[in-house]
Structure 1
Amino acid sequence: MTDPVPVSFTVNGRAVSVPVEPMRRLTEVLREQLGLTGTKVGCDAGDCGACTVLLDGAPVCACMVPAGRLEGADVETVEGLAGPDGSSSALQESFLRHGAAQCGICTPGMLMTATALLRETPHPGAAEVIDALGGVLCRCTGYRKIITAVMRANDPVPLAETPAAGGAVGARVDRLDGRPKVLGSDVFGADAWPADALRVRVLRSPHHRARFRFGDLDAFTAAHPGLVRVLTAADVPGRNLFGVIPALADQPVFAEGEARYRGEAVAAVVGEDAAVRHLDLESLPVTWEPLDPLLDPEAARAEGAPLVHAGRPGNVLARGLVRRGDVDGALSDPDPDVVTVAGTSSTGFVEHAPIEPESGFAQRVGDRIEIVACTQAPYMDRDDTAAILGLDPEAVRIIPTAVGGGFGTKLDLSVQPYVALAAWITGQPARLVYTRAESMAATTKRHPSRLSARVAARRSDGRLVGLDFSGMFDTGAYASWGPTVANRVPVHASGPYQVPHYRARSLAVHTNGPPSGAFRGFGVPQSAVLQETLLDELADALGRDRLDFRILNALEAGRPTVTGQVFAQGVGIRRCLEALREDWTRARAEVAAANARAEAEGRPERRGVGVAGMWYGCGNTSLPNPSTIRVGLTADGRVRLHQGAVDIGQGSNTVVAQICADALGLPLACVALVGADTDRTPDAGKTSASRQTFVTGKAAVLAGRALRDRILLRLNAPPDAALALDGTVLRAGERSLDLATLAGEADAHGLVLAAEETFDPPTAPLDENGQGEPYAAFGWGAHLAEVRVDLDLGRVYVERLICAHDVGRAVNPTLIEGQVEGGASQGLGLALMERYVPGLTEDLHGYLIPTAGDMPEVVTRLIEDPDLHGPYGAKGIGEQVLIPTAPAILNAIRDATGVVVRDLPVTPDRLRAALRAPLETPA
């Protein structure tokens, strides 16, 4: 460690002089020494651009700038963009108004990069913006709204919508939590902790599978000044296991004797900041004995395969089945009118890659522990952490920070048990921020899959006859959400179509891969790839238009799904597909003309267009899934919405407030949000499975209406009385009440009039054949992809995506468009570039996600086919948008080249090999 030396430079126009270690990163100087946490850290390798600042006017990745270079420099950070009075700049207002900030973790880097561009080019075009922003990654937005916000930053900014009472639902209101995101003041997991917090680092297995034993850890600690403790499984006071499904909680906080995947935690060092930061973890006295890993899921399900999971028969974790009709008879029908196609597909591990690595801190407060961290599931965290510490759940408080992207990975525990143990045992606050490599090695992935299916239809009328699907999913070393995937996939593998004879079987198997968990779609994106590409082949075999074939077979209200469930309303898939018809006709004509020109000119380029449909059940599969909302009035005349649903960028803070305001009958501007906190907000359930708008939103409707009823009863006002708040005076029509006079009646939450309501979607268990009512509502959608393929290089360029989604009711169209664009970006990555390989792709340089330059124009078409159960008819949208993108792209590739590709990702080398294969096949 080098001794600190004083360095003098300017930050946001202010001269500073700070003692720094010369090789310490500028990010650390700004964040930890100057308190400027608006500059975010996503990778510490210059790959993500989240830490972009201006150094002498030029954008740089602050994580790559050593502090020794700062002498005499001028540094500008996001905190310097606001005016002297704290007002946001025109660029920041443009980001807010155009919905360019979702989770907000990349927003400061985007803003600083755009600032440099706008100083040189005040009114840039799209290509200039894309080129400038190419070094800053975003996992949420799909970039399109960011590009628009930068292009229009120096145009007059449209006024923000301020809907009157009853007009919030459907309005394009600014994200209620958006201003801190654009100002850089939003607090994420790595942004705040007590000054005396100890630093925690986790030692992880470098092997896919290995036995290990420790040497003298006490002697090691004593030999390293500043270290306080080395924690292992022996230090866990309660249950050394956690898991999202209590009955299947199987992942240890610390492995005991054997590590089952590369990246598994075996110990944690706790100590003073500098001592832990400079410690070489490989110097810990640990002896490793590598064992042969089981990495092939085919071998994992074979009889006699070596166990990777003690206490469970073989390596099969879970099975799923949905069966309806006689699929064997239907698919073996010798009738020449029945046409059958079959195929297989596969996917590998896919990394969530949120730009914010997992982070947080814990502190002991008497006999309780408080954890402040990024999470998607505060109450699940509370219960798991309590079991680990051997405490009652009420002794654990979870306070979620802003979450810089999640997509499912932050449903599972990450930093929480380690900081909780460190704080509980040492009595001092403890903090932990994962490195990018640690985040990628240790956290859950999308399940790798190996799928096969046969599907048949009648030539005479084009109707589907039957579909037989089989899927195997690699759930890795531990259960995580493997059973959920195994149960959800068979329900969805038919796609949103009428299939009278159906069988879908799924299998989740253990390997020594990283645990596979929740990831935007819970296995449905994988199955949709096979099912939708086979439908294209079947349409061609029948001689039918591919879009018309889907429309003909689309589910309708009153017709049974493959589980026998019948919806009388809210089935919008046909309307979604019909919404693509005009573009389908246009694109088909343009593709034919372009390909004819390319062929005539001898250019190795072909264009294609593809389409795919989707459906997705909102919430858990045939399981209880409640959300609870509390709303009330304070004596000082405010509406407080106690909203425990964690907003991970999708907009639940805003959408739930819009819904509640309209149900109550007061303007949205009256509503103050009390964010998720297990001590202050009721359990709104986890943020996953497209459930927050649908489930928590409906709870907000019920709570808002219940509070309205209590107000009307208290004031003896008629049911149709208009409510108004004027300071502390509450009015209901001609009647009024000064809330200040009720101060003595305030409850424990400070509310003088309040209501709390719960909504649990009505579902029914599935029987042994998978028949039942697994979801109260489905979301529906269809995507059209237009692509250009370089036949020589095997490179695919997606030129345009047109996305039609039935959202029931568009509560906030701007936020929905952002979800569609962001989901489409992840679907494009799934199709063309993303594959995680343990030990090889553990940074954002080797693991590729789409950049601003990879994303095409995205056109969103919103369909509103209201659902009976949803709040004002609304359905979920977050998970659905990713599902049809990849199969639409694959169908467009086949349309362009005639080559069937279903093993993802379709990288240039894979496509080039597929294009050459027909030429290399002997006659």
Structure 2
Amino acid sequence: MDRPATSIDFTLNGRAVSVATPPGQRLTRALRDELGLTGTKVGCDAGDCGACTVLLEGEPVCACLVAVGQVEGQRVETIEGLTASSAVTQKLQDSFLRHGAAQCGICTPGMLVAATRLLERNPQPTEAEAMDAVGGVLCRCTGYRKIVSAILDQGEPGVADSDPAAGSAVGKRLRRVDGKPKTDGTEIFGADETPAHSLLLRAVRSPHHHARFTFGDLDRYVASHPGIVRVVTAKDVPGVDCYGPIPPFADQSVFARDEVRFRGEAVAAVVGQPAAIAALDLAKFPVVWEPLPALTSMAAALDGTAPLVHDKRPGNILTRGRVVKGDVEAALASAPVTVEGEFETGFVEHAYIEPEAGFARRVGDRIEVQVCTQAPYMNLEDIAKILGIPQSAVRIIPTAVGGGFGAKLDMSVQPFLAVAAWVTGQPVQMVYTRPESLMTSTKRHPSKIRAKIGAARDGALLAIDVAADFNTGAYSSWGPTVANRVPVHASGPYYVPNYRALTRAVHTHLVPAGAFRGFGVPQATLAQEQLFDELADKLGLDRLEFRIKNALRGDQPTATGQVIGEGVGIKACLEALRPRWHAARAEAAAFNRSTKAPLRRGVGVAGMWYGCGNTSMANPSTMRTGLKPDGRVALHQGAVDIGQGSNTVILQIFADALGAPIDRIDRVAADTDLTPDCGKTSASRQTFVSGKAAELAARGLRAQILRAANAGEDAKIHFNAGHVTVQDGTRERRIDLTALPVDARGYVFAEEATFNPPTTGLDENGQGVPYAVYGFGAHLAEIEVDMDLGTVKLAALTAAHDVGRAINPTLVEGQIEGGAAQGLGLALMEEFLPGRGENLHDYLIPSAGDMPKVHSILIEDASPVGPFGAKGIGEQALIPTAPAIFNAIFDATGARIRRAPATPDRVRAAILATRLRVMGKEGG
């Protein structure tokens, strides 16, 4: 038990402070809760993520591992203090903004503190020294390369413009418009703000994968714990206790009723004063568990004799997907050359550095929820249903999101907070612990994929046959989306005349699987691209040239029969890799001939494509804009930026479409009371869909102003204080805005525009137009394998992506590098095992030393539909990295890895098995 509170005196950011707290309290808690310095972030409370890095007597430490008693009489510096006093930090902050080194921003203060310590002692570090300095701070967004570049900036000229002239923002390397708060520690994330006197909530969760449960005397439990206000259970949910992202499959309850289906599922919440909640031992909560048989694999779940996970879905099959074209069986039977194989992947954790957090409060007959979320309007609809109130009575206020990647599409704290605040009438806060986040958040779907591919002697693809199962866990989440998206994409970006892809999403008694940067396409690509290498080798063709030969053209039908037309840049992406492909293979061959060490080098390539937005479904975004009497323009922009840069990119699109400089535009951030529905941030849709809506709104507002001036479309508008001037050739017209009437929002002119991508439904064989725009790309991986240890190091990555139009090249590169880092994790180290490794010490993600330099090649094959020709890039950047690495491992070792990740034990086992096969053949 901690000692009672005492006065601890120390120097904080150059001034003497005193806090009354138990000496064993974490320094992070004292800084954030007692002293209000929320720039020090908490990502794990275990010293694993480094987000809480501060300087203690000039040395970087994880504040979560330092007891307040240890800093008695010591000097502590946080990001707030360094921002105010350190010239080194200020220079670093500017460099981070210019290089695009801050994406979501949750790790940025820790990075800056660690880098400040390095540069104060060594103003000209090497790259290795920079990597070492920030090696203890994890980042899930950037891929680290821009962070290292920013640290090594050495006073180089700026790489990002700040205030482009009107009409010239698109294509410029602008700094993030929301970047400064990320670098100075003032950005508000989910855990950084809460109303005074808020209650705290902790969930009571199942320790079993499958169990029945009964409660004891909950009233007595509350009465015996001073400071506890209420225990909330399923019976307290006032509305429809069933929600989910896809309404026909919505099947999750706020709290389980009688039976839990996965380890970590919540059965109750304890709500009370923060001190009382912090002191709780939930092991003593009055609940009795009756463990039941649990299905923890897809094979068991598909066994007809096994108990059902979901009694509404016989056979535990949530849904199926299907795309069929031509006669696959006949084509494969007649194909001169075929290859086939089975591939597996496991659960992969999103591992964003910010755990789920937020607060809710009841305001009369309305509920307000402030939370880190990717989908505010989806949250609004579900909360209204859960509370049984009109949607107009719900307000969702998104905070900054410290990484999402798909998991923050699903609700986490939102339903607990809404119900608790509603029934208690008091504001309630909840912050997930790192183990709680890892235990319960959705994961990338485990998969088992079987595929067979046939080709003609000249290398032309004839047929592909794919059957894939995806473990969707205990609840639906985004399982239907994965099952329907994968069959469209499993052909890869290649022309295939005969094609069949059948998928199933399967329920088990495991944590739900959901959206994770690619919706199943990374798993399918891992299988398909390895088989392409095998097919090329069997045909005696160069692996890259085989792909180029079969690359989809705009006039050829896809697997769904869609003829895309313009904007099909896959061939250009593959051809852009040619120079490095030949050079890298020659270098690897020379190294392998010359060295006697156990190290061998290999080179691999993989292509990808990805449909932007929902599959064959409505996918609208709406933007609102208005011209104010003071001559400034408001943009109500509700697309949530989770680090990808949509706040900046959409503003660039809007500014150029309007013909205004960015500095005349005021962005109204996402808030369901203030901004229209821009849809969820997922599926690489915001630049494309919301960007197009912003373009349409801007052009509509521009047209109104020009009509008022009786000017032509080519006229120039100059926005000034209190008036606009319209120049139409030699004629100039001044409009006095202060003399004009305003609407209910205070605007002189206003416009609202919606864009919904043109798609069609798919027929029974999956034929139709599932997406209006596709992104394309290809990665080339250069790796080094230790043949004795089985370790694999990614030495270099070349990434070519067709982005249609690079609205902001710096941000595009950042997405490519960040996606590649997650692809590296998928390939070599990441696999979540439910019930094990629920921390960032055991669950490994790439750190700064794992990521090599990434050479990005931007192909701009413009889409006729996208804003200024732009396509998405978020998911695309991850998809080809892992298969390129797996192909490079084979190139180096001759061993084919068919289960991800390719951990050292699996690589070593594959190498030994290959040697045994070779010896057997030679012996035979």
Tell me if TM exceeds 0.5.
yes
Is it true that 1:649 corresponds to 2:643 in the alignment?
yes
Letter in 2 for 1:771: Q
Cα-to-partner distance string for 1:92-138 (whole Å, 9 max, x where unaligned):
00001100000000000000000110111111111100111110000
Alignment check: 8 A CA contact 1:123 1:152 kept: no
Alpha-carbon distance in 2 for matches of 1:184, 1:456: 55
Alpha-carbon distance in 1 for matches of 2:667, 2:42: 28
Match of 2:774 in 1: 778
Unaligned residue ranges in structure 1 (runs of 5+): none
Match of 1:709 in 2: 703
Within 5 Å, which residues of 2 pair with 1:119-268? 119-152=120-153, 154-155=155-156, 157=158, 160-268=161-269
After superposing the two structures, state which structure 1 stretch, 746-755 or 687-696, moved more.
Answer: 746-755
After superposing the two structures, state which structure 1 stretch, 291-300 or 374-383, moved more.
Answer: 291-300
Letter in 2 for 1:316: I
Within 5 Å, which residues of 2 pair with 1:400-479? 400-459=398-457, 461-479=458-476
Alpha-carbon distance in 2 for matches of 1:111, 1:524: 35
Alpha-carbon distance in 2 for matches of 1:9, 1:638: 47
Is it true that 1:667 corresponds to 2:661 in the alignment?
yes
Alpha-carbon distance in 2 for matches of 1:480, 1:527: 19
Alpha-carbon distance in 2 for matches of 1:30, 1:784: 45
What SS does the aligned partner of 1:646 have? coil
Alpha-carbon distance in 1 for matches of 2:848, 2:455: 41
Match of 1:586 in 2: 583
Match of 1:757 in 2: 753
What SS does the aligned partner of 1:506 have? strand
Unaligned residue ranges in structure 2 (runs of 5+): none
Residue 486 (structure 1) shift: 0.2
Alpha-carbon distance in 1 for matches of 2:614, 2:282: 40
What SS does the aligned partner of 1:591 have? helix
Alpha-carbon distance in 1 for matches of 2:861, 2:313: 45
Residue 161 (structure 1) shift: 3.4
What SS does the aligned partner of 2:358 have? strand
Cα-to-partner distance string for 1:288-329 (whole Å, 9 max, x where unaligned):
111110011022123232111122222000100100000000
Match of 1:504 in 2: 501
Alpha-carbon distance in 2 for matches of 1:750, 1:153: 47
Match of 1:528 in 2: 525
Match of 1:899 in 2: 895
Match of 1:110 in 2: 111
Alignment check: 8 A CA contact 1:619 1:775 kept: yes
Alpha-carbon distance in 1 for matches of 2:909, 2:763: 45
Alpha-carbon distance in 2 for matches of 1:442, 1:455: 38
Alignment check: 8 A CA contact 1:608 1:896 kept: yes
Alpha-carbon distance in 2 for matches of 1:416, 1:762: 33
Letter in 2 for 1:510: H
Match of 1:361 in 2: 359
Alpha-carbon distance in 2 for matches of 1:84, 1:447: 47
What SS does the aligned partner of 2:778 have? strand
What SS does the aligned partner of 1:567 have? coil
Cα-to-partner distance string for 1:595-638 (whole Å, 9 max, x where unaligned):
0012xxx2111100000000000000000000000111112221
TM score, norm. by length of structure 1: 0.98
Cα-to-partner distance string for 1:447-466 (whole Å, 9 max, x where unaligned):
0000110001111x210010
Distance 1:484 1:842, change over 3 A: same
Alpha-carbon distance in 2 for matches of 1:489, 1:870: 23
Find the partner of 1:349 among 347, 350, 373: 347
Cα-to-partner distance string for 1:643-680 (whole Å, 9 max, x where unaligned):
00000000000000000000000111111110100000
Alpha-carbon distance in 1 for matches of 2:842, 2:647: 34
After superposing the two structures, state which structure 1 stretch, 713-722 or 573-582, moved more.
Answer: 713-722
TM score, norm. by length of structure 2: 0.98
Within 5 Å, which residues of 2 pair with 1:26-45? 26-45=27-46
What SS does the aligned partner of 2:112 have? helix
What SS does the aligned partner of 1:454 have? strand
Alpha-carbon distance in 1 for matches of 2:701, 2:477: 39
Is it true that 1:728 corresponds to 2:722 in the alignment?
yes
Find the partner of 1:540 among 537, 540, 544: 537
Cα-to-partner distance string for 1:376-429 (whole Å, 9 max, x where unaligned):
000000000111111111100000000000000000000011111111111110
What SS does the aligned partner of 1:538 have? helix
Alignment check: 8 A CA contact 1:348 1:836 kept: yes
Find the partner of 1:912 among 870, 885, 908: 908
Match of 2:609 in 1: 615
Alpha-carbon distance in 2 for matches of 1:605, 1:820: 28
Alignment check: 8 A CA contact 1:122 1:154 kept: no
Alignment check: 8 A CA contact 1:698 1:759 kept: yes
Alignment check: 8 A CA contact 2:160 2:173 kept: no
Is it true that 1:284 corresponds to 2:285 in the alignment?
yes
Residue 157 (structure 1) shift: 4.9
Residue 747 (structure 1) shift: 2.6
Alignment check: 8 A CA contact 1:655 1:811 kept: yes
Within 5 Å, which residues of 2 pair with 1:305-316? 305-316=306-317
Alpha-carbon distance in 1 for matches of 2:87, 2:761: 54
Residue 88 (structure 1) shift: 7.4
Alpha-carbon distance in 2 for matches of 1:611, 1:700: 37
Letter in 2 for 1:910: R
Alpha-carbon distance in 2 for matches of 1:153, 1:383: 50
What SS does the aligned partner of 2:84 have? coil
Residue 236 (structure 1) shift: 0.5
Distance 1:615 1:909, change over 3 A: same
Find the partner of 2:383 among 385, 410, 414: 385
Alpha-carbon distance in 1 for matches of 2:892, 2:438: 35
Within 5 Å, which residues of 2 pair with 1:44-123? 44-83=45-84, 89-123=90-124
After superposing the two structures, state which structure 1 stretch, 323-332 or 294-303, moved more.
Answer: 294-303
Alignment check: 8 A CA contact 2:100 2:814 kept: yes
Distance 1:711 1:392, change over 3 A: same
Cα-to-partner distance string for 1:135-170 (whole Å, 9 max, x where unaligned):
000000000000000111555656733211110000
What SS does the aligned partner of 1:350 have? coil
Alpha-carbon distance in 1 for matches of 2:150, 2:914: 46
Percent identity for Structure 1 against Structure 2: 63
Residue 718 (structure 1) shift: 2.2
Residue 86 (structure 1) shift: 12
Alpha-carbon distance in 1 for matches of 2:397, 2:543: 49
Cα-to-partner distance string for 1:478-506 (whole Å, 9 max, x where unaligned):
00000000000000000000000100000
Alignment check: 8 A CA contact 1:91 1:154 kept: no
Is it true that 1:340 corresponds to 2:338 in the alignment?
yes
Cα-to-partner distance string for 1:813-838 (whole Å, 9 max, x where unaligned):
00000000000000000000000011
Alpha-carbon distance in 2 for matches of 1:154, 1:668: 26
Residue 756 (structure 1) shift: 0.5
Find the partner of 1:857 among 853, 857, 879: 853
Alpha-carbon distance in 1 for matches of 2:215, 2:495: 59
Alignment check: 8 A CA contact 1:198 1:428 kept: yes
Alpha-carbon distance in 2 for matches of 1:138, 1:159: 22
What SS does the aligned partner of 1:704 have? helix
What SS does the aligned partner of 2:899 have? coil
Alpha-carbon distance in 1 for matches of 2:789, 2:280: 46
Alpha-carbon distance in 2 for matches of 1:86, 1:852: 25
Is it true that 1:515 corresponds to 2:515 in the alignment?
no
What SS does the aligned partner of 1:311 have? coil
